[in-house]
A and B are shown apart, each in its own frame.
Chain A
Amino acid sequence: MDAIEVRELTKDFGNTRALRGASFTVGEHEIFGLIGPNGAGKTTTLRILSTLISASGGEARVFGFDVTRQPEKVREILSYLPEDAGAYQMLTGEEFLEFMAGFYSRDKAGTERIVEEGRKISGLGERLNDRVNGYSKGMKRRLLIARALMMKPRLAILDEPTSGLDVVQSVHVRNMIREYAKNQGVTVLLSSHNMLEVEYLCGRVALISGGVVMAEGTPEGLKERYGAKNLEDVFMEVARVE
């Protein structure tokens, strides 16, 4: 079964059409990258898949569950990290992880296991006992990445996972994403403006522009198809064609 199936997805915001029939599929345990210029429809696609907003037309399924008709089922197996997400400022990092873990576990021991996983991913150590309002941007993002991966969801949707992080922190986060996809069976759908990151992480990529998927394939395959040296050139080529 495909982890994600998106068919002819459309979305209108008033008179603005954000998606014009986007289609792509993501296989189980895959790390799939969604790339495209600003306003291409990446975040709208991710929000529809995360059950936050509903599609105007077309179909989207997550592990066979229809995101519009069975949002509760989808929410049980998915974890979504919005691009500009924040954490509760007045809670400590630890309390934040505990609060979030509670929704994915039936007992205390289960919650503690999830939180322990979160501590490991965040790498924040003692700072987890401090309130979030004292965290730097990078620390906050690491906490949020930990939140998104710690319960080992079947699908993690990560919108710009390394936005605002320095090189060291970005590498830490990328390694975590790879580790969870490879060893914990998490399927990852991510969007990024960082082509280097996409090339490093993603098994397959979809280039989205103007609300439609312009090209889909492995980074290697795409480079070959467009005679480009790297994904950035592919991106430029696709954007030019459009």
Chain B
Amino acid sequence: MNSGDDPYQSWLKNRRNIEISSDFSREVMARISELQSRDMAPPKRDLLHGFLEWISRHPTVQTVILAVGLLLGLARLLISSHIVLSF
């Protein structure tokens, strides 16, 4: 049975066959321009936000930063304890 004779297939075909107004995307873009003119557009990513977003997607970098932070903290602790001991 080909799809032209199969009532179920012809029903699916009819359901799929919808027209979208040719202005649809233009209307969406017009509404976006309107939003922008009202200053409601999404804020551009600033440098810090972009960096944080990037970091959040890279767990290895997070680990490295954490490790460096810990090492620096430890170094600072050692230096201060050395100063105390030298007194």
Q: Do A and B actually bind?
A: no
A-to-B contact residues, CB < 8 Å: none
